[in-house]
Amino acid sequence: MGSRKAISDQRIANDQRQATNDLFTMPFRQVTIIGTGLIGGSLGLALKKRHLAGRIVGCDRAPVLERAQDCGAIDTGTTNPADAVRGSDLVVLATPVLPILDLVGRLGPALPAKTLVTDVGSTKAEIVQRAVKSFGRNAGHRFLAGHPMAGKEHAGVEFADADLFEGAAWLFTPLPGQNVHGGQCGEFIHCAEKMGAKIAVVDASDHDRFCAWISHLPQMISTALAATLVDEFGPDAPVLDIGGRALREMTRISGSPYSMWRDIAITNKKNLADALQKLEQRLAHIRENLDSRQLAAEFERAHQLRKNPPRRHGDTEKGKSKKSN
């Protein structure tokens, strides 16, 4: 009996020792996630699943925090950002873009120099500018601007997924003169890679123009199509059932929340307006040539997009290396 107890005590001691060792070898011992919705909640779950962080603190409205804790995305939470960041060596701003801008301005000067702040905002130019202003000459060591190209049509921590970032591009936009692969910035990028993300480093202005076309424009197309169908047939018409897969795919993201897309439209207005105008011109050209050979030319032009296979992960890494040199 005594020997069994001794073995049990030894196992407990070994487990405690291993837990302590894991805590000290983790890239970040305490992480604060401000905004524990779909992206923030998924990040918490991903960090936990891959043992990349010790304690995870959430910051959001009380009901959201309760759901985030229930699903295991955070260990504890508070509604006060100043309290939430206390003692953390990594702070992730996972709110819509306008609150990110506000938080960078408010939290930046008050945080210890050893604390790294990163964000998941869908536009980057204004965030980079605000970070430079708020963090001062050490901004390159204290702030990492990022954008994981991951998400779902449904918002909320209820839809959080520990594997959300698997295979997704995670774009990082350096501040002036910043080496994003050094220090704690590099540690976080390594964490993103361990979460399965494909890393790319791009200039903030290039990011915003590119995302206006590949992310923001598709959302506006889906929203416009869904709204037009409601106007034409009414909200209760079974158009999705009759229309089939193509229509369901094209309108799937029309369910995305306005609160997020409002901020994107405001902070990337010029690029998005330019993309919308060029698409409008293309649609007008198609409308005017429905009974001519010009319509065939449009189809042939469109087919060229699918002829180019998606880049492999190694290709992305090569592009990243060239960009960062």
Are residues 123 and 260 both part of a single domain? no
Do residues 204 and 145 make contact, with C-beta atoms less than 8 angstroms apart?
yes
Are residues 243 and 198 both part of a single domain? no
Do residues 253 and 218 make contact, with C-beta atoms less than 8 angstroms apart?
yes
Are residues 86 and 106 both part of a single domain? yes
| pLDDT single digits (tens) 225-247 | 999 999 999 999 999 889 889 99
Are residues 182 and 265 both part of a single domain? no
Are residues 198 and 219 both part of a single domain? no
Q: Domain with 128 in it: what CATH number?
A: 3.40.50.720
* 323 falls within a domain: no
**Last-in-domain residue among 175, 202, 229:** 202
CA 257 to chain centre: 15
Q: Domain with 252 in it: what CATH number?
A: 1.10.3660.10
Are residues 198 and 215 both part of a single domain? no
Query: With bands split at pLDDT 50, 70 and 90, how would you rate the model's confidence at 128?
Result: very high
% residues pLDDT > 70 (the chain):
87
Q: Which range of residues forms the domain containing residue 255? A: 208-288
> What is the reported pTM?
0.84
Are residues 45 and 162 both part of a single domain? yes
Are residues 221 and 158 both part of a single domain? no
Are residues 157 and 30 both part of a single domain? yes
302: Cα within 13 Å, side-chain hemisphere: 10
Task: Report the domain count for the chain.
Answer: 2
Are residues 67 and 10 both part of a single domain? yes
| Higher-scoring residue by pLDDT: 17, 56 | 56
26: Cα within 13 Å, side-chain hemisphere: 22
Are residues 185 and 39 both part of a single domain? yes
